[in-house]
Amino acid sequence: MNLPIDNPPIDTTGSPLSSLISPAPLPPHLPDLVRIWVHGWTRCRGTAAPVATRGGFHVEIGRPGQPGRYVFPTADPDVLRSLTASITAPNLWVKVCAPRAVVAPLLPSGWEFDEPQFLMSVTPAAPGEPSARRPHAPARYTVETVDKDGNGILDCRVLHTATGDLAARGRAAVTDAGTPPAVIFDMINTSAGHRRRGLGGLVMNALSAHAAELGAAHGLLVASPEGQALYRSLGWRLHAPVTAARIPPPGGGPAATPPPAGT
């Protein structure tokens, strides 16, 4: 069962981002959150804009091993049975805001599932508030956040000062698919040799601060299990589980598997 859209925020007492949470309301329905998220996700990934279909969205990706994906805010049995019965090509992902136990019986045999994912949100601090200031990197690291083309697609990198190694990174995109604008976070990752040093939180802080300056009033992402733990500790609110499934490629080619969501 989907979690209620107005579930109370998780207690973040002592969290480094606890001051970013405020009572400003999110859109009232899960379909609205999914619509905003998928529009921002396509901006992050540089794909074609999503197309509304069957109560959800289709995104044409058109890259080797990634032809596209469908995203649905609910597990409508008729829609999922009809759609997945018509799909014969591998690697066309179908993502649904529902647990695997609900989605699996609606799919044909032979489909495989990605790890569980989670739709989450946060309300960033307003520009000018102390918690909205761009953060400083810890000793031995530098952080930079850029809006290269001035179009609200933000890239953050954390570098190890001594070696120049990329220690952590992330991307975010501001979208006006909702009112007020929202920021969608994607591809947040910390390199193996630099984990457990707060760099994931640093990336999220830096992107949040920059997005707030651009007018973003809400943050959304779809997180992996590992990412969910980080975001919960940073004060993010969980709205729904997300199940992703596909027809696997012949031989189960790993190159066709998309990057983990939100991590």
Per-residue model confidence as pLDDT tens for the chain (263 residues): 222 223 222 222 223 333 333 333 445 589 999 999 999 999 999 999 999 999 999 999 988 888 999 999 999 999 999 999 999 999 999 999 999 999 999 999 999 999 999 999 998 655 555 555 678 889 999 999 999 899 999 999 999 999 999 999 999 999 999 888 999 999 999 999 999 999 999 999 999 999 999 999 999 999 999 889 888 888 899 999 999 999 999 876 544 444 444 53
- Cα 47 from Cα 155, distance rounded (Å): 16
Structure-token pair, residue 124: 């960033």
Coil, helix or strand at residue 229:
helix
Nearest in space to 2 (alpha carbons), one of 101, 77, 105: 101
DSSP state of 227: H
Continuous segment of H or E residues that includes residue 112: strand 112-113
> In 3D, which of 124, 128, 87, 131 has the Cα closest to residue 106?
87
Determine the Cα–Cα distance for residues 114 and 125; give it in Å rounded to an integer. Answer: 33
The one-letter amino acid code at 215 reads G
Q: Please, are residues 119 and 242 in contact by the beta-carbon 8 Å criterion?
A: yes
* Residue in the structure block whose two tokens are 């992902």: 93
